[in-house]
Amino acid sequence: MVRKSSRSSSYQRLADDLAQQITTGDLAPGSPLPSERELSDRYKVSATTVRTAIRLLKEAGLVVSHQGRGSFVRLPREKIRRDARDRYNWEKKRAALTEQDRAQWVLQRDATVDPSQIDFSAEFERLPASAELAARFGIVAGTPMLHRIYRTGGPDEHGAYILSDSWLRVDLIESNPALLDPANEPWPGGTIHQLRTVGIEVARIIDEVTGRPPSPDEARALQLHDVGTAVLEIRKTSIDTTGRVVEIATAVLAGDRTELVYTTDLDPW
Amino acid sequence: MVRKSSRSSSYQRLADDLAQQITTGDLAPGSPLPSERELSDRYKVSATTVRTAIRLLKEAGLVVSHQGRGSFVRLPREKIRRDARDRYNWEKKRAALTEQDRAQWVLQRDATVDPSQIDFSAEFERLPASAELAARFGIVAGTPMLHRIYRTGGPDEHGAYILSDSWLRVDLIESNPALLDPANEPWPGGTIHQLRTVGIEVARIIDEVTGRPPSPDEARALQLHDVGTAVLEIRKTSIDTTGRVVEIATAVLAGDRTELVYTTDLDPW
DNA sequence: GAGTGGTCTAGACCACTGT
DNA sequence: CAGTGGTCTAGACCACTCC
């Protein structure tokens, strides 16, 4: 007979038990949990119930499992800080340098990653603007747009670390045909410099940030092998000195590996 | 005999099948999935396998289940925008108003929520600064601190929508004893006004944003009834006109209900 | 080969929602 | 009451890791 206890399911009680041992430090980060068979014996529950409990811990980001090895208390992830003000202003300053100076700095914006190990791909397509996109750009639907899709990855230890895409108005950039060719990516100097080549100065960048679970594709690309992680999605809108929207980009980053930093200066009293 | 097919598990294939029907719109948002028993019959797999597939979809945030009713394609969530520049500057301006004017504006910073329905609680404790906290404040460990814990919730439809805590230096605020009493919360005018009462002007606010799955406590408090959601965690550091750190606060928000907006003005060329 | 997690079955019963 | 998802069992076999 099943012993129906108090007001909670047995997998929930098991998960709570283990979670407490993890948060109190009885089970230290990196240490293995008891095997499923052992938990099954010790708690007098079936293997399925044990697996359900462990799945709960994985969903909460407390535990990772490796087939053939065991389940382990998750190690805290070292976070890469991404300071919007520093990053964007640095990119803009760099865009005003000579070609030689810029070339030296290609892809070094994240000093923590060795540039020689970076894996990069770019794919371009030309599409008419959808109604929603047109509204965000303040143009009419159907306007020819350039859609660029990027994947930037590190070596296995760091994992791929950013998925992004970008929309540009073809009419604003076609005076420089080099911008339409993905073979020129990664462009030394970034989008801010690309826009400079057609006479556009970016004056303001607005980031809209949300958090959500990764799609299966994103989990693969960002090397989020396990459940229990979230991604940060940044929708970036760039506005030039005349107030026009000149680029709309989206970036998806691993939430447990990234810390976004935003500084707000307040008006004085 | 189990038919071992191609290179994928049967729950994975079922999940992919359903996910595709959802993304193509064959299964519209809000519509019910076939029942588990029906899927079990149709795909010739056990109930457990069907449940595993549906769990996958829940983890990806595509589906929600309700006991006794069924599983449904998740509806997109309406997002509350939270613009840092507007919000913080508005709060600072308000802090300079007369007491009467401020009182009218209590808790109206989120215009989308009816203030009369808001559920609010505050809890204070005095603790010495930990080494880590002291480092962030630039003070010595053990300095007396005030730790304030808030829960702000809406009615059931919106759900509780913010969990936050805040650290202040006791030595900077004790000249106004009213600040030490939680009965005075929610304080008309917010922390920026509280600091103004002891002669401090906040000049800069730095937000550090990460994304992660919710802890069980957070899932309860933020009414994230299901797996497949993420939370945004904001660590806010307030700095006064003399460059001192005057408050460190953390806020946890439901990722599927919140959009953080940050504006960066770039230096001109 | 021994031990681990991963996939899967067949079936029972519980808890909840609707009519 | 019929139909739904939620909990749970007992057991089989697969895939992988490490010794």
CATH: 3.40.50.300, 1.10.230.10, 1.20.1090.10, 1.10.10.10. Which one for A10-73? 1.10.10.10
Q: Distance from residue B206 (CA) to nucleotide C9 (C1'), in Å?
A: 55
The residue-averaged pLDDT of A112-134 equals 80
pLDDT at position A99:
67
- Domain covering A80-261 in this structure, CATH number: 3.40.1410.10
- Give the nucleotide at minimum CA-to-C1' distance from B12: C7
Is residue B206 within 8 Å of residue B249, measured between CB atoms?
Answer: no
Chain B nearest C-alpha distance from A192 (Å): 11
Q: What is the pLDDT of residues A145-171, one digit of tens each?
A: 999 999 887 654 455 578 999 999 999
Q: For strand D, which residues in window 31-50 of chain A come within 7 Å by CB?
A: 44-49
Percent of chain B at pLDDT above 90? Answer: 68
B208: contact with A, CB 8 A cutoff: yes
Residues of A in contact with B268 (CB under 8 A): 201, 203, 241
Separation CA B269–CA B266 (nearest Å): 9
Query: B259, A209: Cβ pair inside 8 Å?
Result: yes
pLDDT of amino acid A116: 55
Residues A171-220: pLDDT tens digits?
999 999 999 999 988 887 789 999 999 999 999 999 999 999 998 788 87
- ∠ CA A212-A218-A223 to the nearest 5 degrees? 110
Identity of the residue in A203, A258, A267 whose CB atom sits nearest the CB atom of B265: A203
Q: Is the CB of B13 under 7 A from strand D?
A: no
**Inter-chain residue contact B210 with A258, CB threshold 8 Å:** yes
Q: What is the pLDDT of residue A6?
A: 45
Whether any strand D atom is under 7 angstroms from the Cβ of B3: the reply reads no
Task: Compute CA distances A76 → A69, A73, A135, B5, whole Å.
Answer: 20, 9, 41, 37
| The model's pTM | 0.88
What is the residue-level pLDDT of chain B in tens, covering all 269 positions? Answer: 333 344 588 999 999 999 999 999 999 999 999 999 999 999 999 999 999 999 999 999 999 999 999 999 999 888 889 999 999 999 999 888 766 665 565 545 544 445 555 678 889 999 999 999 999 999 999 999 999 999 887 654 455 578 999 999 999 999 999 999 999 888 877 899 999 999 999 999 999 999 999 987 888 778 777 788 999 999 999 999 999 999 999 999 999 889 999 999 999 98
For all residues of chain A together, what is the average pLDDT? 87
Location of each CATH 1.10.10.10 domain in chain B: 10-73
The reply to whether B77 touches chain A by the CB within 8 Å rule is no
pLDDT tens-digit readout, A39-79: 999 999 999 999 999 999 999 999 999 999 999 999 988 88
Q: Which two tokens stand for residue B66?
A: 């309700």
CA dihedral A130, A135, A137, A139 (to 10 degrees): 80
- Which alpha helices (DSSP H) does chain B contain, by range? 10-24, 36-43, 47-59, 84-95, 99-104, 131-137, 170-173, 190-196, 216-221
Q: Do the chains contact at B209 and A262, CB–CB below 8 Å?
A: yes
- Count CB atoms within 10 A of the CB of residue B105: 16
What Å distances lie between residue B206 and A63, A255, A262, B248, CA to CA?
Answer: 31, 19, 6, 10
Looking at the complex, report in whole angstroms how far the Cα of residue A165 sits from the nearest Cα belonging to chain B: 19
With bands split at pLDDT 50, 70 and 90, how would you rate the model's confidence at A3? very low
The answer for A 173-192 residues in CB contact with B (under 8 A) is none
**CA–CA separation, A269 vs B214, rounded Å?**
38
**What values do phi and psi take at B101, rounded to 5?**
-60, -40
The residue of chain A with its CA nearest to that of B23 is A215
* Residue from the list B207, B212, B241 with its beta carbon closest to the beta carbon of A262: B207
| d(CA A46, C1' C4) / Å | 17
B47 touches chain A (CB under 8 A): no
Q: A59 touching B, CB under 8 A?
A: yes
Chain C: positions less than 7 Å from a protein CB are 3-12, 14-18
Measured between beta carbons, the chain B residues lying within 8 angstroms of A258 are: 210-211
Where in chain A are all domains bearing CATH 3.40.1410.10? 80-261
A214 inside 8 A of chain B by CB: yes
